[in-house]
Each structure stands twice: as structure tokens, then as C-alpha cells.
Chains A and B, each alone.
Chain A
Amino acid sequence: MPAPISTPPLRPLRKSPPGEAQVWLTALGLTLGVTMVVGLLVLILVRGLVVFWPQHVTEFTLREGAASAIQGKTNVAGEVVRTQWRRDGGGEEVQLHIGNKDIYGFNFHWLQSLDIVSRHQPADIIAIERLEYGDAFGRPLALVSTDADPLPATDPAFRTRLTAAVQAAASVRHQITQIEKHDIGRINRQMTSLARAQKSTPQPDFPALQAALQAEYETLAARARDLRATLSTPSLQYKSPTGDEKSVTAGEIVRFYFPNELGLTGRIGIFFDRLWEFFSEEPREANTEGGIFPAIFGTFVMTVLMSLLVTPLGVIAAIYLREYASQGVIVRTVRICVNNLAGVPSIVFGVFGLGFFVYVLGSRVDQTFFASSLPTPTFGTGGILWASLTLALMTLPVVIVATEEALSAVPRGVREAALACGASKWQMIQRVVLPSAAPGVLTGVILAMARGAGEVAPLMLVGVVKLAPSLPIDGLFPFIHPERKFMHLGFHIYDLGFQSPDSEAAKPMVFATTLLLIGLVVLMNLTAILIRNHLRRKYAASTF
């Protein structure tokens, strides 16, 4: 006898049907993740961009004999960084960015609120960004030059004259850089190659050639010296808030402005001016000032190089694993090993890179191709090529796994069609399977890029430096210099935040650099995603 058909009663709609709680749980998980990511991004964005915004400068009058006064003076001025309550109940305290490091020896200072008598923001305070010692705040006194009378700050032409002087000095500095980096650099290289050639095959006219180069060098050096001398005048005399009279040459001034009388447009102008300087200039002052262009460029070149190295390697390996190897115990073991490689700490890859690429491969290359310049190593020391190779090795599992997945997702029908057309197995893989799998491969490359671009630890062993004298790609033959050391945003963050002599001054730069690193990774990933979407459209799988 068959079982009777069950007829459960039709119940009215419940307030929470079974399983609703789990839906909330999944939503909660997502919310938590999104909140943390967005929070981190907003924090970095705000703290990173605020660095470039010109702040007001507040002048404080302190009570007589205040404990938090500087050098016993009752006046102090600076940008207010933050205000906080003291834990020991001693009232409020204010952190100031007082600048004038050449006078005080420090950049930041805590003021006790109890000591403050009054605070105001005088319009005549000038903020000077200098090549050395960071910012200076004070009141301008006069523009002094050797060939004319001092121009007092009260003169209506004072600001235009100062602006002109600063601009003129900037162009002279640019000329000096050109001579020193470009022309003298060229002579240096010629001398080195001459000396190297002399070592292998002595030439009779070697001393004459050397003397000619030396003479050319002397002329250029003299020109640079003369230009540098013109930078010493005119100079700006100013008085610090605490009453010290100082002077700074126009050649030392990067930028000046009057922070308290600046309008919104002026502030925006300075904001973008500083932002551009940050993007495009080289660092100054132990990396805490100036720009980070070499680090941006180094990170970009290294990541691109790494992707170019890891993609073919990973794809070839995955093709063999998935398409050719018979799927037995050995292949399964290899696959597990490859996957576990992704879990090896990155510093281990760094050590391997140093030991194998730099010490073994690099020194071999030096002995074979650059024997004349030994004992100075060419490839036998850390460089962008070895760093990229190390990272390529580190990200290889990601590409292999993604490619294998993509290959196995290529429909059987298309493979059979290719074989039925008389294609060999390799022709089938190359002409049909790989194009279909390309978007999946790119997903792996995107993941690899994201991981590689942000990696720091292994790079410290194989070629990243605090300050690289030249870029890995430039206008000098052979244009790409894979042996050069390079700067990297990730290492720059570490260096600024933890190795810098003035960590308080470097802190804003840490945020700005982080922002830039994230931006760069996002930009490169977006490019790869666009390519992938293009391929997806092109090779859109039919309804298999």
C-alpha cells in the first residue's frame, strides 16, 4: 500500500520565515568588510590629502614664565595639528607645527592651554618652504640684495619682487641640475668606459683623451659653480615669532605664502601645486619633503616587469599541468606544492632571490659580460630585474592556479571542434583554448599584480633603496637599465614611518604615500580589468 500523501496545514505568513537570520548574518559579514575597507580608505584619503592643504598659522601669546614656552619667550606661532586632553588631568594641550627647525631644533611642540593668554591669526605671517630645514614661519622684514638697497616688506613691490626672485632662483637651480646630472654625468660615463677600454686594450692616446674629458668637466663644473654663486642673492630677512632674526636666500625657497590672508582659490592653487610637486619631484630632506616620483616610477616599472615575467611562466606551467601531464599522483602532488608555495612567507622568497638571483646568477652574469668593471658589481647586486624576478616567483602560484581554472573551463565542444578540423593538440591549445582562457588568465595576473605591487619585505633584500640616484628607465642608452637599484612606494612608507629621524614630520607623508600606492595599484588593476573585459566581449563564451 503506498504511503498517504502528506498534507501539512497552510500556515499564515510568519514574521521571520526559517533561514531569515542567516540572511542577516551574511549581510552583516559584508557590511563589516565594506565598513572596514571604506573606513581605511577614507582615513588614508583624508589624512593623505590634508598634507597638501595650506593651514592657517596661529600665533599664541603665553603667560609669563609658562612651562611650555619655547626658549622662555611668551610668543609662539605655528599650524595647529591637534588639540587633546591630557591624561593626567592637566587640562587641554595643543600640538603645533612650529617649523623653524634651524632655530628650535624641532618641528613640533606641545602647548598647555593653561599657559595660553590669547591666540590670533595675524595676516602678515609668512610661511616659507625651504630646501633645507623644512618650513619657516615668521614676519618678513626686507629683501636684501648685494647690488641694491634693501626693499622693506612694507613696500608695495615687495611681494612681486620676492616672487620674481624665487622663480629666477628656481630656474637657475634647474640649470644646475641639468649640468650636474646630464652633462657631467655623461662625462663621467665616458671616463669610466674609457678607463675600462684602457684596462683591456691599452691605447696610446689614452692620456690625451682623458685630459680632454677632464678639461670639459672643469668648464662645466666652473659654470655650475658660477650659477650656484648667483643663488646667494637676494635673500629674504624675516623675524621668527619668538623674535630671532634670520635670513634665507631666494635660492633656498621652494615656495612662500601668507597663510592667514590666503583666499580659497589661493589655497586650492597651493594645494594642487604641492600635490603636483609630490607626484613629479624627487624627495628632499631624507625623503620627508619634496616628491616621490622615483618611488612611483620604480613601483610601476617593477610591477609591469613582474607581470611580464610571471604571465608566460605561469601560463606555460599551467598548460603542461592541465593539458599534457597525465593526471596522476605526481601531478596532484605538484599541484598541491604549487598551491602551498603561495603560503610561503614573502621574506623567504626575498632570501631566495638574494641567494640565487643576485649571488649566483648575478655574479655569473658579471663574470661573463661585465668582467672589465669588476670588482664593482653590475648585476651581482640587488636591482630591479632581480626584484621583479623574485616577485614573479612569489606570485607564480596565483597565475598557475587561475590559468588552470580558466583552461579547465574551456568547453569540451570547442576543443573537439578544433581537433575535428585537423588541428594538432598544440594548435588546439594555442589557437582555441588559450584565447578562450585569456580572461581567466588575466584575472590571475590582476591578483598577482595586486599582491606584488604592495610587497615590501622581499624587495629590501633584492634591490630597493631609500634613495636611488637614477631611474630604471631613462633617456640614456640602452634606455632600460634592469641592473639599477630602485625606489618603491611600499618601502618608502616603511622608511618614512619607521626609519625617519623626524617621525612626526614624516607622518603626513606616510599617509600621502599610502594613498598613492593604493591609487597606483587600483590604476594598474583597472587597466588589466579593462583589457579583460575587452577580451571577454571578444571571446564571449556561447551558451555551453
Chain B
Amino acid sequence: MPAPISATTTPAPDDAPPPATMVEVRDFSFYYGAKQVLHSINLQIPEKQVTAFIGPSGCGKTTLLRNLNRMNDLIDGIRHDGDILLDGTSLYDPSVEVISLRKRVGMVFQKYNPFPKSIYENVVFPLRVAGRNGRAELDEVVERSLRSAALWDEVKDRLGESAYGLSGGQQQRLCIARAIANRPQILLMDEPCAALDPVATLKIEELMHDLKKEFTIVIVTHNMHQATRVSDYTAFFYLGKLIEYDRTAKLFSHPGNPQTEAYISGLFS
């Protein structure tokens, strides 16, 4: 299984100049009530690259991801220190409207979650809520997004049918098409293949490789093989701390920290 993927994946060479920073996490700590789940994270996510967050369950990687589009705002009793900057602007600046932030930062969830609507309406949902209802524009967005999500050929004849009629892998790709419909800068993916079979996983991984030409991708994954296959940069988290962050090739071949080495060699999970 990994063979065809490594053929399509071309990690940046070690000596390439570092790409521009899209998101900067500065000394960021996060609390659920009294419980601190992130400890002073410092991280720079590069533009138009795939950055993977890995680490054992409960290490805070999903929490950090969900802070990048302030999805954690929905939870009561949260608190944070430090800052996260998108293109140099703080996400937590009081003048930033969270809706406008989410229009720039799309998200794909662990469990595919299409809306109880037609395939077409699922894809155009971000445009509709933004008040863009022009038929021609919507048609164009649907085709472009579904093509980007490698789903167009499979569903182009049944755009009016319910999204729930699709297979799991198709539904997840539909969710990706929906997330990129409004052309966000960043695409957050929270274990996007956790609920999928290996064939569907393969398709999504191939897709990410194409998508990174346009979008900055941040992916949370439990699967270290997946991290090596799809990502350019990898951040290893453990107990709410960022242990190591480096180019994927380097982190997996020459980990700089014994905890990273223990994790990637499967000593704990």
C-alpha cells in the first residue's frame, strides 16, 4: 500500500529555502476549565505545505487544530494564553469576526458529516451562507470543488440526490469539496481517514497531495505512516507539549528527541 503513495509524494529536500509562514502559534496555552491541555506551544505552519500533527491520544493535537478556526469557542469554560496569528493578524483580536475567520480556514472532520441536503446544496453551502446565490457562480463552484475533491466524475449525474446516498469515502470527499468551495487559505483536517477503509484513505491521501498546490493543509493523524506519506512538516505532541517539529523526512529518520523516537518506533501510543 505505501509504495504508490511514496511515488506521488515529493517531500521538500532538506536544504530547500523555508516557505513563507501562514500561521504562527506563539507561546499558546489552552485550558478546559482548570485543566491545562496545551503548554506554551510555539509553531510556524508554512504556506502551501502539508503539516501533520501527531502524538498519542489526549496529547492536545486536535485541540490546537480546533483553535486554528476557533471551533473550541463552542465549549463553555475555555481559556487561553499566548496568541495565534494568521497572516500576521491575531485570531483572537476583538475586531475579528469568527465567521470571517472560518471563511478563511476550512475544516474537514474525523467523521464525515454532510448536511441532510442534496450533493449540490452541500457543496454550495459556504457560498449560500455568505449570501452568494448566483446560479452561474454556484454551478461553477460545484464543478470546480467536486473536481478538486476528485468526486466530480462519480456524482456529476446525481447532484440533486441526497448526500447520504454516497459511500463513506465519497461522503468524506464531498466534505472536502464543501470545505474548499469558498476557497479558504487553510484547510484543517482532523483525522480525515479515521472512519474510512484503506481504498478510500488512499484516495484522500492522493487528493491532499493535489490540494496543497492551492491550500495550506494542517492534518491531525494517529497514523504515522499517513504522516510520512502526506506531510511535508510534522509536529509531535505529547502531554500537551510540542516535543519536536521539523521536516517530516528529518523527524522520522533522525528524530532529535528520545520521546519522538520512542513514539515513532511504536514504543508507546
Binding site for B on A (CB under 8 A): 411, 413-414, 416-424, 427, 431-432, 435-436, 538-542, 544
- Per CB-CB distance, the 10 closest pairs between chain A and chain B, nearest first, are A539-B116, A413-B113, A420-B107, A422-B103, A423-B129, A421-B126, A417-B113, A422-B102, A427-B129, A542-B164
- Complex interface: chain B residues within 8 A of A411 (CB): 113
Query: In chain B, what residue has the closest Cβ to A435?
Result: B116
Stretch at the interface among B47-55, B171-179, B255-263: B171-179
What's the tally of chain B residues with a CB closer than 8 Å to chain A?
A: 29
Contact B102 A432 (CB under 8 A): no
Residues of A within 8 A of B129 (CB): 418, 421-424, 427, 431
Measured CB to CB, the nearest residue on chain B to A535 is B116
Instruction: Specify the chain B residue showing the minimal Cβ separation from A417.
Output: B113
- In angstroms, Cα B171 to Cα A541, docked, is 13
The chain B residue sitting closest to A428, CB to CB, is: B129
Which of A414, A435, A540 is B113 in contact with, Cβ under 8 Å? A414
Q: Quick one: given A421-B126, A422-B102, are A436 and B116 in contact (CB under 8 Å)?
A: yes
Closest-CB distance, B126 to chain A (whole angstroms): 4
Nearest opposing residue in chain A for B116, CB measure: A539
| Interchain nearest-CB distance for A428 vs B (Å) | 8
Task: Tell me the minimal C-beta distance from B170 to chain A in angstroms.
Answer: 12
Instruction: Tell me the minimal C-beta distance from A439 to chain B in angstroms.
Output: 10
Task: Please measure, in the bound complex, the distance between the C-alpha atom of A541 and the C-alpha atom of B115, giving whole angstroms.
Answer: 9
The answer for the CA separation of A186 and B116 in the assembled complex, in Å, is 52
Chain B hits for A414, CB < 8 A: 113, 115-116
Also in contact, A413 and B111, with CB within 8 A (given A422-B182, A431-B128)? yes
Residue pairs across A and B with CB atoms within 8 Å: the count is: 81
Tell which of B102, B112, B116 touches A420, judged by Cβ atoms closer than 8 Å: B102
Residues on the A chain within 8 Å of B109, using CB: 413, 416-417, 420
Contacts A/B (CB < 8 Å), 20 sampled = A413-B109, A413-B113, A416-B71, A417-B107, A417-B115, A417-B175, A417-B178, A418-B125, A420-B102, A422-B100, A422-B129, A423-B125, A432-B115, A435-B117, A538-B162, A539-B162, A540-B162, A541-B116, A542-B113, A544-B111
Contact partners of A416 in chain B: CB under 8 A? 71, 74, 107, 109, 113
Report chain B residues within 8 Å CB of A544. 111, 113
Q: Does B240 contact A (CB under 8 A)?
A: no
Given contacts A417-B175, A540-B162, A542-B171, contact A422 B113 (CB under 8 A): no
Which chain A residue lies CB-closest to B110?
A413
The interface residues of chain B lying within 8 Å CB-to-CB of A422 are 99-100, 102-103, 126, 129-130, 182
**Contact code string B41-72 (vs A, CB < 8 Å = 1, else 0):** 00000000000000000000000000001010
Q: Does more than half of chain A's interface fall in helix, strand or loop, or is it mixed?
A: helix
Partner of B179, one of A421, A424, A541: A421
B114:A542 contact, CB within 8 angstroms:
yes
Give the complex CA separation of A420 and B129 in angstroms.
11
Interface contacts beyond A414-B116, A422-B102: sample of 20 additional A-B pairs, CB < 8 Å, sorted by A: A416-B113, A417-B114, A417-B178, A419-B74, A420-B69, A420-B109, A421-B125, A421-B129, A422-B126, A422-B129, A423-B99, A424-B99, A431-B125, A432-B116, A435-B115, A436-B116, A539-B116, A539-B162, A540-B116, A542-B164
Given contact pairs A413-B109, A431-B125, A539-B116, A420 touches B71 in the complex (Cβ within 8 A): yes
Query: Does B169 touch A at the CB level, under 8 Å?
Result: no
What's the Cα separation between A435 and B125 when bound, in Å? 14
Query: Is the CB of B106 closer than 8 A to any CB of chain A?
Result: yes
List residues of chain A with CB within 8 A of the CB of B182. 421-422
CA distance A419 to B75 in the complex (A): 13
Residues in B113-161 with C-beta less than 8 Å from chain A: 113-117, 125-126, 128-130
Scan residues 18-34 of chain B and give those whose CB is less than 8 A from a CB of chain A: none
Q: How far apart sit A65 and B130, CA to CA, in the bound complex (Å)?
A: 96
Q: Which residues of B contact A538 (CB under 8 A)?
A: 116, 162
Cα–Cα, bound, A418→B71 (Å): 11
Are A420 and B179 closer than 8 Å at their CB atoms?
A: yes
Find chain B residues with CB under 8 A from A413 CB.
109, 111, 113
CB contacts (< 8 Å) of B100 on chain A: these are 422
Q: Which of A414, A420, A539, A541 has the most CB of B within 10 A?
A: A420
Task: Kindly list chain B residues whose C-beta atoms are within 8 Å of the C-beta of A539.
Answer: 116, 162
Contacts of B106 in A (CB 8 A): 420-421
B103: which A residues are within 8 A, CB to CB?
Answer: 422
Tell me the bound Cα distance from A12 to B138 in angstroms.
69
Of B107, B117, B129, most buried by chain A (CB within 10 Å of CB) is: B129
Cα of A411 to Cα of B171 in the assembled complex, Å: 16
Rounded to whole Å, the gap between the CB of A435 and the closest CB of chain B is 5
Which of B71, B100, B103, B113 has the most CB atoms of chain A within a 10 A radius of its CB? B113
Given contacts A419-B74, A420-B106, contact A540 B164 (CB under 8 A): yes
**A127 vs B175: C-alpha distance when bound (angstroms):** 75
B86 to chain A, nearest CB (A): 15
Q: Give complex CA distance A421, B174 in Å.
A: 13
The residue among A416, A422, A431, A542 with the most chain B CB atoms within 10 A of its own CB is A422
Q: Which residue of A lies closest to B114 (CB)?
A: A542
With a cutoff of 8 Å between Cβ atoms, the chain A residues found around residue B125 in the complex are 418, 421, 423, 431
Residues of chain B contacted by A419 (CB below 8 angstroms): 71, 74, 102
Q: Once bound together, how far apart are the Cα atoms of A413 and B74, in whole Å?
A: 13
Which chain A residues border B126 with CB–CB below 8 Å? Answer: 421-423
Q: Considering the chains assembled together, what is the distance between the CA atoms of A383 and B17 in angstroms?
A: 81
User: Is the Cβ of B115 less than 8 Å from the Cβ of A418?
Assistant: yes
- CB contacts (< 8 Å) of B175 on chain A: these are 417
| Identity of the chain A residue whose Cβ is nearest the Cβ of B195 in the assembled complex | A543
Point out the residues of chain B lying under 8 angstroms from A435, CB to CB: 115-117
